[in-house]
Structure 1
Amino acid sequence: MANQKRKINVFSLGSNDFRSDMKSDMTAGDLTNALAQANRFDLSYLVENTRGELAQGQLGLLISPLLVSLILILFTGGFLVFQLSQQGIISQIASGGNPWTEVLTNMPQGLLIIGGILLLVFLYGLYNLVQTVLDLVGGAVVCLEGTGWRKITTSRDDDGSTTTRTYYVVADQKFSVKKNAIGVIENGRNYRIYFTPRRKILVNMEALD
């Protein structure tokens, strides 16, 4: 298929190049400051984070995922309702004259496939929205310590375009980070990370050695 992606791991957790990186002379404190600057963490919130609490000033880190989920729901839900309305499906359901099974049976196959895909995307967005709201309301963070690595994956389309995703991997937990932050983490060093329990959004990080 023309739109099918072939995923190519250019740099991955198992890369010998990454695992053999030499540690720099940067102290744990300097590395912590560099990580905070690159990821826009506020180290003054470490007091709350070490108590397992999400600081008020960190709520903004969850706003972007919240908005993305909300936009996904509104776009897919609105488009699905529009398509069903255009085909007269909604009016058939509202009239109650035909059973659900008959309405689905008479639905054009193309619309049925598109509707199914949109419904799955809608439910995915709804799930992420609920998880993000629960993280906001719960106000808790999870603390985890372990060895850290950087991971970069690249997927390539048949038309030649590529998409690159960057991650920190600490204690076998993977966290999405911005591209400008990927080079800051030093492989093989120990870190303490703080993240939300459901969406696993990274909110703070310390280098330990």
Structure 2
Amino acid sequence: MIDAIPETLVLGYSRGYADRLAHEFSDPADWRGRRVHILGGSPPKQLNAIRQLTRPTLTDEPPADIVGVDWNGLHRGAQFGEFWTADGWDDSGRDADHVTVRKTVRHSLARVREFWRAHGIWPETTPQNEGLNVEYEGPSPADLEDAACTECGTNVWRTRRGPYVAEYDIGAICGYCSYGCYFSHRHRNNLEEIAGEQSVYLPPA
């Protein structure tokens, strides 16, 4: 199955909550010599997968080239006021008014970085160091999956100006029929945009 995938493509090694995890349909040897991205799983689980795919073998098989990892658990935990640590989840900031989902995720990311560095796994350079700058472009009406205004339910496409769109640090992109609905929904729910004003699309006047 894996051999049928061109070697020019990065393989996704499922380790989180996928319907089928990689170890359920393959052996570690199947992934060796390939570029691999670890899909999901906490850092300790990802570390275990990395070790399985890269440690020396008696048959001298080439290690997998681990090109990246991801995990949405940090965001999920942050919505409940919890941040990740190597010793488990910490909810000490849950009742603090000034702690937002975005700040909690950033705190978790700092702990994740500490974890990987402690195990000697952290890139010496970043894409930015290598001149690969990725610019955030902000949301647009094309990103909306629902025509209903998030605040009042009005069809955002039938208004005179068209939809207002905001992308929040909780991972949601919301559409509104007016600036008033955007403002009300944002403040009533204490939401914070990912990148300030850049995360808000205002339709042409």
- TM-score, normalised to structure 1, is 0.25
- Tell me which protein shows more helix as a share of its residues: 1
- Tell me which protein shows more strand as a share of its residues: 1
Higher Rg of the two aligned structures: 1
- TM-score, normalised to structure 2, is 0.25
Higher-RCO chain (CA-CA 8 Å, sequence separation at least 6)? 1
